[in-house]
Amino acid sequence: MCNKRNEKALNPACLLQTGSTHIYTTEGTSTVDDVFDDTYREKEGKKPPRILVWRNIILMGFLHVGALYGLVLIPSASWLTLGWTAVCYLISALGVTAGAHRLWSHRSYKASVPLRVFLALGNSMAFQNDIYEWARDHRVHHKYSETDADPHNAKRGFFFSHIGWLLVRKHPDVLEKGRKLELGDLRADRVVMFQRRHYKLSVVLLCFLFPTLVPWYFWGESLAVAYFVPGLLRYTVVLNATWLVNSAAHMWGNRPYDKTINPRENPFVALSAIGEGFHNYHHTFPFDYATSEFGCKINITTAFINLMCFLGLARDRKRVSGDMIAARIQRTGDGSHKSG
């Protein structure tokens, strides 16, 4: 059988191969532990107390004040520095979208060692926890979405799913269920484990020093502008763009593929998160490398992965077949589907 919702192993009968793309024609074709588990039940009775983590509250407060100061400094920044800020935004965003998310959390395509190294460097530049921790939390998010075992359970409100979950201790069910996940593929990836071992140093170098020193050294930008604009402001905007996927894209937008789940299609989020706002599609078909029915449309990450395939640095992109999407729209969509 290849259409069981919780099936994890790939069934070759379920896919067609076209070049380096695998088109899946039936549901339940994820190769990793990211498929929604509808057997999980939240424990009854009183919820555990919310324990604030003051260190994180203070650091996040300072970071956002620093980012506001970066905004004030934008008129003093040279055009080269502003261009460099955009480059740093793109590299760090790709480290999250093409790296931690589509490659390492969902295994939706395969990447060569040089590409994995580039994505791990971008991921350290994004400073959102190391890849192993990010992918573990993300798999548990998909598997137990919007329950106590979801790290950023959107049922606890916008603030919690956006940033609040990083300011309190995790719900015990997140740890309990997370410990049961199959993460052998991540432990076997030497790039992932190297980044995990040297994470703190890599963040200092790539998230803070590198974005600051390049404009200062190469075109004489002031250290203050270089630190606050491509450094703190860029880091904070990438963080918030990422968090919007957990908050806004779980609350606002249409549900053309599955009206029984909360994640939504949100083009604004897709734009700021370089392609990651088509969240109803993504939670319905988490193994699709494009995270959207519409390929590269408002989706720089998909264009990037395509380019990497063209250059021979990536392969085996997984994609859902048109028939399978149409059947799902018919069966569970909210009727808002538009073609393109």
Binding mask 172-201 for ligand ST9 (x = CB under 6 A): --xx--xx----------------------
- Please tell me the distance from the alpha carbon of residue 78 to that of residue 87, in angstroms, as a whole number: 14
Q: How far is the CB of 3 from ligand ST9 (least distance, A)?
A: 26
Residue of the chain from 26, 195, 246, 284 that contacts ligand ST9 (CB under 6 A): 246
- Structure token digits, residue 13: 């009968």
DSSP category for residue 46: S
What residues numbered 147-176 form the site for ligand ST9, per CB under 6 A? 151, 166, 169-170, 174-175
Binding segment (CB under 6 A) for ligand ST9, from list 11-19, 26-34, 236-244, 307-315: 236-244
Classify residue 77 by its DSSP letter.
S
Element (H, E) at 80: helix 79-94
Q: How far apart are the first and last CA of the chain?
A: 32
Q: Is 242 in the site for ligand ST9 (CB under 6 A)?
A: yes
Residue 43: which region, alpha, beta or left (left: phi > 0; alpha: psi -120 to 50)?
beta
Single residue of 140, 203, 232, 329 touching ligand ST9 by CB under 6 A: 140
Selected range binding ligand ST9 among 19-27, 39-47, 124-132, 319-327, rule: CB under 6 A = 124-132
Site track for ligand ST9 across 26-55, x = CB under 6 A: ---------------------------x--
Query: Residue 250 carries which DSSP code?
Result: G
Evaluate whether 152 touches 4 at the Cβ level (below 8 Å). no
Determine the Cα–Cα distance for residues 292 and 270; give it in Å rounded to an integer. 10
Tokens 């393109």 — which residue?
340
List residues binding ligand ST9 (CB under 6 A): 53, 56, 93, 96-97, 101, 127-129, 134, 136-138, 140, 151, 166, 169-170, 174-175, 178-179, 238-239, 241-242, 245-246, 273-274, 276
